[in-house]
Structure 1
Amino acid sequence: MGELVLALPALGELAAYVHKTLCQQDSLDPDLTPLHRTTLARAGRPCGAVFHVEGPRMLRTSAVWAADDHRIIFYDSTGQRSRAIRLSESPDPADLAARKPDRRPARVA
């Protein structure tokens, strides 16, 4: 099977897709499970984000949007990579700076 390719041109669309996918992965109710986001920065400019949801019994699943690579990589609650998708269209990472981040931007080497 080939790699899934999606067009998610707006930050809201990307976040909604990630939220839905993370919740489906562990059978969580999206209405009861908030999505958290941390902006990633390289050389002072936004270059992606880490998203995560937290469920019962300290369950935590996450996804990394690597804007420069046009990819979203999903991880399960054990930290193992569960899937990856390519983006044919994605938001401008500068949109992350325009929105209030959940946390202070993390630095990427």
Structure 2
Amino acid sequence: MASALPIEDLEGLRRYVQESLCEQNHLELGAFEMSERILVRGKRPCGLFFCLHGPRSVKLTAIWETDRNTILFYNSQGERIHKTSLLRAPKFAPAEVA
């Protein structure tokens, strides 16, 4: 399943990813920690990796590909379960990523 969204900034992207991962996996929003890392290709940032650390060591992930401006969502087995295209790419600086 795919959809398209107008996300304006990095905070909106984080919120959407966390809400989507929680909704897709029937988890309470805000109950679990989410980490993120910058993905680099050839010394250039090419995306963000998000990981929601769920119950019983379950890890749910999403990747924002900046080149294609899409977010790919994965279940705990690493299978892609959803794809979202963004209408506009949020701007981000490496210093903004935790």
Q: Which residue of 2 aligns with 1:105?
A: none
Preserved CA contact (<8 Å) 1:46 1:96: no
Whichever of the two has the greater Rg, that structure is 1
Q: Which residue of 2 aligns with 1:36?
A: 35
Map Cα deviations across residues 28-67 of structure 1 (whole Å, 9 max, x no partner): 2222212110111122221111101111122111000001
| TM-score, normalised by the number of residues in structure 1 | 0.82
Structure 1's consecutive aligned runs of 4 or more residues displaced over 4 angstroms after TM superposition are: none
For the residue of structure 2 that corresponds to 1:79, the secondary structure is: coil
Give distance in 2, aligned partners of 1:19 and 1:77. Answer: 15
Q: Which residue of 2 aligns with 1:67?
A: 66
Letter matched to residue 81 of structure 2: S
| TM-score, normalised by the number of residues in structure 2 | 0.90
List gaps (5 residues or longer) in structure 1: 103-109
For the residue of structure 1 that corresponds to 2:67, the secondary structure is: helix
For the residue of structure 1 that corresponds to 2:31, the secondary structure is: coil
Match status 1:98 vs 2:95: yes
The 3 A distance-change label for structure 1 pair 7 and 14 is same
Give distance in 2, aligned partners of 1:79 and 1:34. Answer: 19
For the residue of structure 1 that corresponds to 2:37, the secondary structure is: strand
Letter matched to residue 87 of structure 2: S
For the residue of structure 2 that corresponds to 1:57, the secondary structure is: helix
Give distance in 2, aligned partners of 1:77 and 1:83. Answer: 13
Q: Over aligned residue pairs, what C-alpha RMSD do you find?
A: 1.5
